[in-house]
Amino acid sequence: MRKTYKKIYIEIINNCNLNCNFCSKVTRPRKFMSKEEFEIILKKVKDYTDYIYLHVKGEPLLHPQLIEMLKLTEKYNLKVNITTNGTIFKILSKKLGKCNSLKKINF
Protein backbone atom coordinates (compact mmCIF):
# COMPACT_ATOMS: atom_id res chain seq x y z
CA MET A 1 0.00 0.00 0.00
CA ARG A 2 1.36 3.43 -0.96
CA LYS A 3 1.62 5.81 1.97
CA THR A 4 -0.03 9.24 1.68
CA TYR A 5 2.93 11.30 2.92
CA LYS A 6 6.65 10.89 2.34
CA LYS A 7 7.36 12.20 5.85
CA ILE A 8 5.63 13.69 8.86
CA TYR A 9 7.32 16.08 11.26
CA ILE A 10 6.68 15.67 14.99
CA GLU A 11 7.79 18.29 17.48
CA ILE A 12 8.61 16.33 20.64
CA ILE A 13 10.23 19.37 22.28
CA ASN A 14 10.09 23.09 21.56
CA ASN A 15 13.07 23.96 23.73
CA CYS A 16 16.64 24.43 22.53
CA ASN A 17 20.00 24.82 24.23
CA LEU A 18 21.12 27.48 21.72
CA ASN A 19 19.82 30.91 20.71
CA CYS A 20 20.70 31.12 17.02
CA ASN A 21 19.83 34.32 15.18
CA PHE A 22 18.48 32.42 12.14
CA CYS A 23 15.81 30.60 14.18
CA SER A 24 12.55 32.36 14.91
CA LYS A 25 11.87 32.74 18.60
CA VAL A 26 9.41 30.38 20.27
CA THR A 27 6.74 32.30 22.14
CA ARG A 28 4.75 29.25 23.19
CA PRO A 29 5.31 27.79 26.67
CA ARG A 30 8.22 25.33 26.74
CA LYS A 31 7.02 21.74 26.46
CA PHE A 32 8.36 18.21 26.34
CA MET A 33 5.90 15.80 24.72
CA SER A 34 5.22 12.82 26.97
CA LYS A 35 5.99 9.30 25.80
CA GLU A 36 2.26 8.56 26.01
CA GLU A 37 1.36 11.55 23.80
CA PHE A 38 4.03 10.46 21.33
CA GLU A 39 2.59 6.95 21.11
CA ILE A 40 -0.88 8.34 20.42
CA ILE A 41 0.58 10.31 17.51
CA LEU A 42 2.48 7.27 16.22
CA LYS A 43 -0.73 5.25 16.16
CA LYS A 44 -2.40 8.01 14.14
CA VAL A 45 0.38 8.50 11.56
CA LYS A 46 1.64 4.94 11.01
CA ASP A 47 -0.82 4.28 8.18
CA TYR A 48 0.10 7.51 6.36
CA THR A 49 3.89 7.45 6.27
CA ASP A 50 6.99 5.33 6.78
CA TYR A 51 9.17 8.25 7.94
CA ILE A 52 8.87 10.66 10.82
CA TYR A 53 11.18 13.61 11.41
CA LEU A 54 11.84 14.69 14.96
CA HIS A 55 12.51 18.36 14.46
CA VAL A 56 10.47 21.50 14.20
CA LYS A 57 11.49 24.20 16.69
CA GLY A 58 13.36 22.39 19.43
CA GLU A 59 16.48 20.30 19.95
CA PRO A 60 15.21 16.68 20.03
CA LEU A 61 18.36 15.32 21.69
CA LEU A 62 17.45 17.31 24.82
CA HIS A 63 14.30 15.23 25.36
CA PRO A 64 14.80 13.06 28.47
CA GLN A 65 12.71 10.21 26.99
CA LEU A 66 14.16 10.29 23.47
CA ILE A 67 15.58 6.75 23.52
CA GLU A 68 12.30 5.31 24.84
CA MET A 69 10.44 7.22 22.13
CA LEU A 70 12.72 5.80 19.45
CA LYS A 71 11.98 2.30 20.77
CA LEU A 72 8.27 3.06 20.30
CA THR A 73 8.89 3.94 16.65
CA GLU A 74 10.27 0.43 16.16
CA LYS A 75 6.99 -0.98 17.49
CA TYR A 76 5.10 0.89 14.73
CA ASN A 77 7.67 0.18 11.98
CA LEU A 78 8.45 3.85 11.46
CA LYS A 79 11.83 5.10 10.33
CA VAL A 80 13.17 8.21 12.06
CA ASN A 81 15.24 11.17 10.90
CA ILE A 82 16.50 13.65 13.47
CA THR A 83 17.81 17.16 12.89
CA THR A 84 20.07 18.38 15.68
CA ASN A 85 22.45 21.22 16.40
CA GLY A 86 24.91 18.50 17.46
CA THR A 87 26.02 20.09 20.72
CA ILE A 88 25.14 17.04 22.84
CA PHE A 89 25.37 14.32 20.18
CA LYS A 90 28.53 12.78 21.63
CA ILE A 91 26.76 12.16 24.96
CA LEU A 92 23.96 10.17 23.28
CA SER A 93 25.76 8.68 20.27
CA LYS A 94 26.18 5.15 21.70
CA LYS A 95 22.52 4.94 22.78
CA LEU A 96 21.32 6.35 19.45
CA GLY A 97 23.44 3.78 17.61
CA LYS A 98 21.39 1.00 19.20
CA CYS A 99 18.06 2.36 17.91
CA ASN A 100 17.08 0.34 14.86
CA SER A 101 14.45 2.80 13.68
CA LEU A 102 16.90 5.71 13.46
CA LYS A 103 17.81 6.08 9.80
CA LYS A 104 19.39 9.53 9.54
CA ILE A 105 20.77 12.31 11.71
CA ASN A 106 21.15 15.77 10.19
CA PHE A 107 23.50 18.28 11.81
Structural class in CATH, domain 8-16+23-106: alpha beta
Q: In 3-state terms, what secondary structure has residue 21? A: coil
Q: In 3-state terms, what secondary structure has residue 1? A: coil
User: What pLDDT digit, counting tens, does each position of 41-75 carry?
Assistant: 999 999 999 999 998 889 999 999 999 999 999 99
Each domain of the chain, given as residue ranges in start order, spans: 8-16+23-106
Going by their DSSP bridges, the two strands 102-106 and 51-54 should be labelled as unpaired
Q: In 3-state terms, what secondary structure has residue 18? A: coil
Mean of the pLDDT values across residues 67-89?
A: 97
Asked if 63 and 32 count as a contact pair (C-beta separation under 8 A), the reply is: yes
Asked if 46 and 74 count as a contact pair (C-beta separation under 8 A), the reply is: no
pTM across the whole model: 0.90
User: What pLDDT digit, counting tens, does each position of 3-45 carry?
Assistant: 899 999 999 999 999 988 888 887 888 899 999 999 999 999 9
pLDDT-derived band at 1 (thresholds 50, 70, 90) equals low
* Distance (Å, whole) CA 47 – CA 53: 16
